[in-house]
């Protein structure tokens, strides 16, 4: 089979040209673009254009690399970068601890390079660099900022501020590089707290105050009654019966809980729901993930995941994500908003954010405390 030349989209061609120009004058440079915009294709293009150089790609997991290579075969049939070797950050860390040999390379590529700031993984990266002192170092990430690590900027720390190209998620949406999802907030635990409020009101002994609280309770109950729950919201915004959905979960306990709720949440769309799960600790996760991608049945397909699809895994044809994983990090949040950095949204896809903890309006909580009622 004849090898196809990789053709980059205009935004990636610009990034590639800037990167090559910067590397002519410096040994370090990085590209900051939302995941899903094709950063791995830029890496493959570098390998294709420099067949005499060896590239060592550092990434988060083998799962990611296998998936990226599969997507590359669609973009450039017949091209397999023989001069590109992959190593996980964890492997580099282990080699650093044991003093094992590191492959010689001309270019070190750090994918999702914000991970290089992690204490142990960072030692592995440093070990790779020390064993290849003359190598160029290139980085790619959706964001150089480690928000959970005092806001460290890894573009400054690792690349001396040499950013060859930068694109914000909003730019990618506005320029049509990435489809813009519809963002919906859903409430799914309000009835529980409303019930607790009713019990608390029953404890108020003063008739005048009791009547006041009952009036406010009825006002709140009616307003919540008029609002849609998560099942109705999902049915409203997920019209295709055979949709593909990814649910981001915070931990194993919640994953099991949400899997049991799948018919309650998605039953209004389709009574037949195929559920899959993948977690970083699950040895069968990759099998489930592959089956999810290949499922073309008439059922509604739901993939539940923990710490697995936050970055660098491409999934095509996703109709919606449900994000029940709480986070303070814009990295994880914006990643999930794109369908976990590399999910290929369908046009008009939906991001649903269920809110489990329902907080009563301040006027209800304040009045109750004043009268010794616990809400």
Distance between CA atoms of residues 209 and 205, nearest Å: 8
pLDDT in tens, 155-198: 999 999 999 999 988 888 889 888 777 777 666 555 566 677 77
Structure tokens at 353: 């954010």
Q: Work out the pLDDT band at 223, boundaries 50, 70, 90.
A: low
Decide: helix, strand or coil at residue 63. Answer: helix
Instruction: Give how far Cα 342 sits from Cα of 34, 41, 48, 255, 312, Å.
Output: 9, 13, 22, 21, 6
The CA distances from residue 24 to 16, 21, 148, in Å, are 13, 5, 34
Question: What's domain 182-186+230-355's superfamily in CATH?
Answer: P-loop containing nucleotide triphosphate hydrolases (3.40.50.300)
- Distances in whole angstroms, Cα of residue 366 to Cα of each of 260, 311, 350: 36, 42, 36
C-alpha–C-alpha distance, residues 201 and 210, integer Å: 7
Cβ contacts of residue 228 below 8 Å, gap of 6+?
186, 236
CATH of segment(s) 10-174: 3.40.50.300
Phi and psi torsions of 75, nearest 5°? -80, -45
Q: What is the greatest pairwise CA distance in the chain?
A: 87
pLDDT over 50 at 332, yes or no? no
Q: From its phi and psi, is residue 348 left (phi > 0), alpha (psi between -120 and 50) or beta?
A: left
pLDDT tens, residue by residue, 6-60: 999 999 999 999 999 999 999 999 999 987 899 999 999 999 999 999 999 999 9
pLDDT of amino acid 317: 79
- Pairing verdict, β 152-153 and 145-146: antiparallel
End-to-end CA distance of the chain, in Å?
70
Task: Establish whether domains 10-174 and 182-186+230-355 are of one fold.
Answer: yes
Q: Are 273 and 299 in contact (CB under 8 A)?
A: yes
For the chain, the structural domain boundaries read 10-174, 182-186+230-355, 190-228+363-370
- As a whole number of angstroms, the distance between CA 322 and CA 126 comes to 37
Average pLDDT over residues 55-73: 89
Please state whether the predicted TM-score (pTM) of the whole model is above 0.85: no
DSSP secondary structure letters along 299-325: SEEEEEEESSSSSS--EEEEEEEEE--
Q: How far apart are CA 370 and CA 212, in angstroms?
A: 13
The token duo for 143 is 């964001």
- The pLDDT of residue 364 is above 50: no
Cα–Cα distance measured from residue 155 to residue 304, given in angstroms and rounded to the nearest whole number:
32
Mean of the per-residue pLDDT values for the chain? 83
- Given the structure tokens 């001396």, which residue do they identify? 160
């Amino acid at each position: 089979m004849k090898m196809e030349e990789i053709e980059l989209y205009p935004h990636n061609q610009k990034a590639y040209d800037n990167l090559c120009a910067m590397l002519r004058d410096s040994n370090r440079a990085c590209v900051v673009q939302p995941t899903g915009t094709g950063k791995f294709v830029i890496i493959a293009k570098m390998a294709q254009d420099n067949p005499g150089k060896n590239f060592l790609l550092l990434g988060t997991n083998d799962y990611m690399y296998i998936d990226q290579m599969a997507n590359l075969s669609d973009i450039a049939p017949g091209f397999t970068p023989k001069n590109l070797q992959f190593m996980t950050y964890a492997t580099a860390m282990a080699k650093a601890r044991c003093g094992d040999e590191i492959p010689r390379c001309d270019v070190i590529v750090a994918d999702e390079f914000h991970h290089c700031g992690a204490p142990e993984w960072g030692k592995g990266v440093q070990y790779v660099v020390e064993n290849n002192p003359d190598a160029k170092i290139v980085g790619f990430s959706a964001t150089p900022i480690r928000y959970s690590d005092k806001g460290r900027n890894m573009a400054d720390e690792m690349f001396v501020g040499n950013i060859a190209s930068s694109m914000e998620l909003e730019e990618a949406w506005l320029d049509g590089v990435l489809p813009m999802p519809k963002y919906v907030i859903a409430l799914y635990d309000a009835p529980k707290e409303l019930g607790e409020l009713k019990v608390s009101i029953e404890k108020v002994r003063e008739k005048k105050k009791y009547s006041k609280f009952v009036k406010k309770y009825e006002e709140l109950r009616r307003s919540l009654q008029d609002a849609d729950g998560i099942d109705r919201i999902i049915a409203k915004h997920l019209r295709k019966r055979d949709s593909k959905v990814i649910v981001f979960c915070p931990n194993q306990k919640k994953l099991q809980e949400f899997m049991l709720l799948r018919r309650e949440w998605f039953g209004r769309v389709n009574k037949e729901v195929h559920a899959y799960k993948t977690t970083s600790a699950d040895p069968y996760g990759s099998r489930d993930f592959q089956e999810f991608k290949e499922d073309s049945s008439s059922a509604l397909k739901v993939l539940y995941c923990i710490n697995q699809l936050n970055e660098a895994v491409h999934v095509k044809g996703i109709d919606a994500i449900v994000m029940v994983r709480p986070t303070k990090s814009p990295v994880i949040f914006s990643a999930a908003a794109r369908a976990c950095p590399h999910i290929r949204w369908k046009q008009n896809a939906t991001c649903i954010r269920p809110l489990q903890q329902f907080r009563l309006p301040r006027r209800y909580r304040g009045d109750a405390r004043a009268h010794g009622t616990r809400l």
